[in-house]
Structure 1
Amino acid sequence: MQFQGTDAYVATRELSVAVNAAIQLQKPLLIKGEPGTGKTLLAFEVARALNKPLFTWHVKSTTTAQQGLYEYDAVSRLRDSQLGDRDVGDLAAYIKKGKLWEAFETDESAVLLIDEIDKADIEFPNDLLQELDRMDFYCYELRQTIRARHRPVVIITSNNEKELPDAFLRRCFFHYIRFPDRATMQQIVDVHFPKLPGELMAKALSVFYGIRDVKALKKKPSTSELIDWIRLLMVAGVTHDDLTDLENLREVPPYLGALLKNEQDADLLAALRGRK
């Protein structure tokens, strides 16, 4: 199994090495990087490239590790016992399997995405240590140990909102997706817009990276926002003659709301342009 990117996902050599190293070491791959750099999408493309089933577990602030294993619906069982219209002795009927359990049950190795793990409580990663390390867990209601038939490829994303425990980090292979340089970004744009005129791409990238170079921005525009912006430029029929390099721009770029997401950054860029 070797991942080299796909026709829809440009993977740098460093990222491909990280994915393949994690697979070989049979360790979870912990991915960090700026929002919009393709961390979540990576799991989808790894599954597609390796022709494997994908299970996605999107973590929220209220998510617990137990939910990834299973949830026992004791309330429904109690209600059914009172109504007497169901065999409440079948405990399996009241167990909802979590994403880890589903990934453990597949007839072939699957890809398991644990997305934005840093949104949950600080103890969340530690609560998954044994399950991700030994690839098994115990279901007390069924008095049964659930073991993975095949070790899944585990991809974990983090936006660095909080520090992850050292014990958890030791069990992962880590990779930080650095923001694409101009050459890599051009490859990414080519994937999404293969017919984009070269002159328009050059102007759009100049404006985009010029905005990112403004040091006082609270939130720099990301890859996904660049893709949205270029899509709007194409729909509106904007040409390279309508764009100028940021150094010479006296007005803000068109459709700035696709790139900047708060009023402070929009006002800052407008003020900088007004000085020219």
Structure 2
Amino acid sequence: MTGDEDWLIYRGAGEPHDGIDRLPPPPRWREFGGQPLVEPQLGTDGSGGRKLGEQERATTYRADAEVTEIVNAALYLRRPLLVTGKPGTGKSTLAYSIAHELKLGPVLRWPITSRSTLETGLYRYDAVGRLQDASLRQGGTRPLLRTNSGEQAAPPSIGRYIRLGKLGTALLPQKRPRVLLIDEIDKSDVDLPNDLLNVFEEGEFEIPELTRLPDDQATVEVMIADGTDRVPIQRGRVRCNAFPVVVLTSNGERDFPPAFLRRCLRVDIRTPNRQQLTEIVTAHLGPEVVAASEDVIERFLDDRRVGDLANDQLLNAIYLASSGGRPPEETRSRLLDALLRPLSQPGQ
């Protein structure tokens, strides 16, 4: 390292590269060394086909200098990143940008609700399905499995009934880290942030249903969260090799325990200024559209002084104004009023 931008692994420029291979070893207290390494077959990010989908946003997202620096600090220290900011400022998109630029595969997105628990993030065990299958076979309703020689085969492995969650899949012992997006953590039950602490510190978890199995079933293959591929789990223990790139987003709707905050690096994504907005619109829609939409950008900036507005609202408004059809001026004005309505004033 020369003390300049050579230290940046993530550059925030939207161009994929192999910079992750230059990442130095972690601090000794963040070494995990899970073995044996697994290489699950990764699918593609299904969001790419959506209008203004996350994959498109990943390629057009531009992180400012402060965000880029904090992301790189999190990569070096193998620490989770807590991203705060107003709705629509690109908090979730940052995770997709990191995954796209560093070529880390599809993002593992775990959307948080008040019913989300640590266990649902780690794995799901379909005990009812396993019991039903066993009952049907014993009752003769479902045909018995047989080997090629005609002998009765052993019942299906318990691994058929276990699927890792997004957090559990991110913690598999892989050579390269996966990107895990824990979206809107402030919507969680009050206990979830504290429940995550031990997993973040230890980089591992256990599946009790597998730890209780006899020695001849020490290795069990289970399904991963983002596909049908199966990976081997030994003695019911999952321990990461490369700590995942964890991005937690928050709209600032609640406070988090100091112990949780101490284990995260924090960055606040500010609302973009005029130049940044212009760059965002240019990246999505092209420079010609920007030149023809100066009035919409001015309107967006003026309305943002009254209430919160999301970047998506501006993109939608400019796209509608430049998509080819030209509504009457009165209709256009009403549509802009609807599209650029401040989020903090939903009923007006």
TM superposition score normalised by structure 1? 0.83
Counterpart Cα distance in 2 of 1:198 and 1:126: 45
* Shift in Å, 1:77: 2.0
Counterpart Cα distance in 2 of 1:263 and 1:14: 27
Deviating beyond 6 angstroms after TM superposition, the runs of 4 or more aligned structure 1 residues are none
Instruction: Tell me, yes or no, if structure 1 residue 256 matches structure 2 residue 337.
Output: yes
Match of 1:193 among 278, 285, 291: 285
Counterpart Cα distance in 2 of 1:147 and 1:263: 43
The one-letter code of the counterpart of 1:256 is D
**Conservation of the 8 A alpha-carbon contact between 1:229 and 1:259:** yes
**Conservation of the 8 A alpha-carbon contact between 2:303 and 2:342:** no
Name the structure 2 match of 1:90: 157
Counterpart Cα distance in 1 of 2:155 and 2:203: 30
Instruction: Tell me, yes or no, if structure 1 residue 15 matches structure 2 residue 56.
Output: no
Name the structure 2 match of 1:221: 309
Counterpart Cα distance in 2 of 1:253 and 1:181: 25
Stretches of structure 2 lacking an aligned partner (at least 5 in a row): 1-8, 15-58, 138-143, 146-153, 212-235
CA offsets, 1:15-41, max 9 Å, x none? 111111111111000001111111111
* Shift in Å, 1:263: 11
Match of 2:252 among 160, 179, 183: 160
Identity of aligned residues (%): 35
My pick for the range that moved more, 117-126 or 54-63, is 54-63
The one-letter code of the counterpart of 1:2 is Y
Counterpart Cα distance in 1 of 2:161 and 2:266: 37
Counterpart Cα distance in 2 of 1:97 and 1:208: 43
Matched position secondary structure for 2:248: strand
Match of 1:58 among 111, 115, 132: 111
* Shift in Å, 1:109: 1.4
Matched position secondary structure for 1:161: coil
Name the structure 2 match of 1:271: none
CA offsets, 1:89-136, max 9 Å, x none? 732222121112212224421111111111110101111111112110
**Conservation of the 8 A alpha-carbon contact between 2:184 and 2:250:** yes
Matched position secondary structure for 1:232: helix
Counterpart Cα distance in 1 of 2:347 and 2:186: 29
Name the structure 1 match of 2:296: 204
The one-letter code of the counterpart of 2:170 is A
Counterpart Cα distance in 1 of 2:194 and 2:296: 44
**Conservation of the 8 A alpha-carbon contact between 2:316 and 2:339:** yes
Stretches of structure 1 lacking an aligned partner (at least 5 in a row): 244-250, 268-276
**Conservation of the 8 A alpha-carbon contact between 1:80 and 1:88:** no
